[in-house]
Amino acid sequence: MRSNLDAAVIADCLMLNGNRLGTSIQTLTGTTAIPPDAPHVLAWDPGGGAREVNLPASPQSGDFYIIVNTADAAEVITLEDSASAALTPACTFTQNEVCFVVYTGAAWRFFVGVA
């Protein structure tokens, strides 16, 4: 019984590496670690101040996150590795910016854009 698949089209789709296409909506209260089983889309509000977000330890090549800074003011999120060390170059993004971060197998790489 498939009553919800009217006009659905999926073409050339390949999903690998245990993708978790859910969403986390959260207000941060301090330094926050992304859990290894977190969904890939994170809509996070720094909650009134600058916050550090630590990426998961022991990532697999291809692991990625899309992090949206949903702040109501100019509040910065800084991404760090699992040991709280800054990424090189530093990754900071402010209100209404989005960061896409991916693990290449050797390092975390990212880009930041406007939401």
**What DSSP assignment string belongs to 45-100?**
E--SS-EEEEPPSSPPTT-EEEEEE--SSS--EEEE-TTSPEEEEEEEE-TTEEEE
Q: Is the pLDDT of residue 49 over 90?
A: yes
Q: What is the mean pLDDT of residues 74-101?
A: 95
| The model's pTM | 0.82
**Residues 29-44: tens digit of each pLDDT:** 999 999 988 999 999 9
Choose the CATH number for 23-114 among 2.60.120, 1.10.287, 2.60.40, 1.10.3470.
Answer: 2.60.120
* 13-to-6, 8, 36 alpha-carbon distances in Å: 18, 13, 24
